[in-house]
Amino acid sequence: MVEHKNSLEKELIRSEKLKTAGQLAAGVVHEIRNPLTTIKGFMQLFQNKEHLGQEDQKYYQLIISEISRIEGIITELLNTAKPNASKEVNFDINNIIEDIVLLHKSIADEKSIEIVTDCYSLPEVKQDPDQIKKVFINIIKNCIEAMDKKGVLTITTNYIKDKEEVEITFKDTGCGMDEETLNKIGTPFYTTKEAGTGLGMLTCFRIVDEMGGSLNIKSKLGEGTTFIITVPVN
Ligand SMILES: Nc1ncnc2c1ncn2[C@@H]1O[C@H](COP(=O)(O)OP(=O)(O)OP(=O)(O)O)[C@@H](O)[C@H]1O
Ligand SMILES: [Mg+2]
């Protein structure tokens, strides 16, 4: 079983990378967004011209949908880099898990993926629930995407009393990761997916970091992956 540990050194490199990615994004993203909106607007205008043949219509549609994809990546990048106006409240993480499972039920059913939850009673944490939701959604999305069809996603929660922390694990029976992927996961734009942006795990690492928690990943190629998150109570 290959393990991705947040050792101090790795953590330092990662937070440097996070900072660089954030600065880069903040400086450049707005500048890219405006001309992009103009280009898209004109393409849409041209697409509606009557003289266009069917073939040309198709090409215009392709250009417009590619521009939309770039817009998606940019929005995602902005969300990743945006400093958090955190709204901290006391809440039970088990309630968030329940919501999120409900949210993913239909897409899981479609792929014959079973979502099993094994949740123990937890003390409340004082965090921003939207941020935690974002982490869970990104991880569940990855787990579901890693399972072609027929798989099991097991979500467990526990209270680790002596460490005063809540532990949440997500375990999939998907494709797993090789060592290279495990080392690069969370690096800005690192993706092995055709339509991936490679920002999902970067966001997760950043949020967990800001909460003072930890995120560890264990994976075995062909067998599956486990994400272990801890969140401090208080
Ligand atoms: N549960 C998993 N099983 C196997 N590989 C995974 C899993 N989660 C992440 N990965 C690998 O890590 C890479 C980075 O994940 P990350 O979520 O950051 O980006 P992504 O899923 O590719 O794109 P997106 O920005 O849409 O999330 C993935 O492309 C995939 O190779
Ligand atoms: Mg992802």
Instruction: Output the DSSP codes for 127-140.
Output: E-HHHHHHHHHHHH
Q: Is the CB of 190 under 6 A from ligand 1?
A: yes
Q: How far is the CA of 58 from the centre of ligand 1 (A)?
A: 31
Q: Is the CB of 217 under 6 A from ligand 1?
A: no
Nearest CA to ligand 1 atom 27: 200
Positive or negative torsion for Cα 142, 144, 147, 152: positive
Q: Which of 191, 205, 207, 227 to mutate to test the pocket of ligand 1 (most atoms within 8 A of CB)?
A: 191
- Tell me the domains of the chain and their CATH numbers: 2-81 (1.10.287), 89-232 (3.30.565.10)
Q: Is the CB of residue 166 less than 8 Å from the CB of residue 214?
A: no
What pLDDT is attached to residue 212? 93
What pLDDT is attached to residue 167? 98
User: Looking at the CA of 219, which ligand is closest?
Assistant: 1
What pLDDT is attached to residue 170? 98
What pLDDT is attached to residue 18? 65
Q: How far is the CA of 42 from the centre of ligand 1 (A)?
A: 34
Provide the residue type at 77 as one letter: L
What pLDDT is attached to residue 85? 61
Q: Is the CB of 187 under 6 A from ligand 1?
A: no
Q: Is the CB of residue 176 less than 8 Å from the CB of residue 222?
A: yes
What pLDDT is attached to residue 196? 87
Q: What is the pLDDT along the chain (234 residues), one digit of tens a residue?
A: 656 655 556 666 666 666 676 666 667 777 888 899 999 999 988 888 878 888 888 899 999 999 988 888 887 777 766 655 678 899 999 999 999 999 899 899 999 999 999 999 999 999 999 899 999 999 999 999 999 988 999 999 999 999 999 999 999 999 999 999 999 999 888 999 988 888 899 989 989 998 999 999 999 999 999 999 999 997
What pLDDT is attached to residue 54? 85
Q: Is the CB of 178 under 6 A from ligand 1?
A: no
Nearest CA to ligand 1 atom 4: 176
Instruction: Output the DSSP codes for 151-175.
Output: EEEEEEEEEEGGGTEEEEEEEE-S-
Work out which ligand 1 atom sits closest to the CA atom of 143: 1
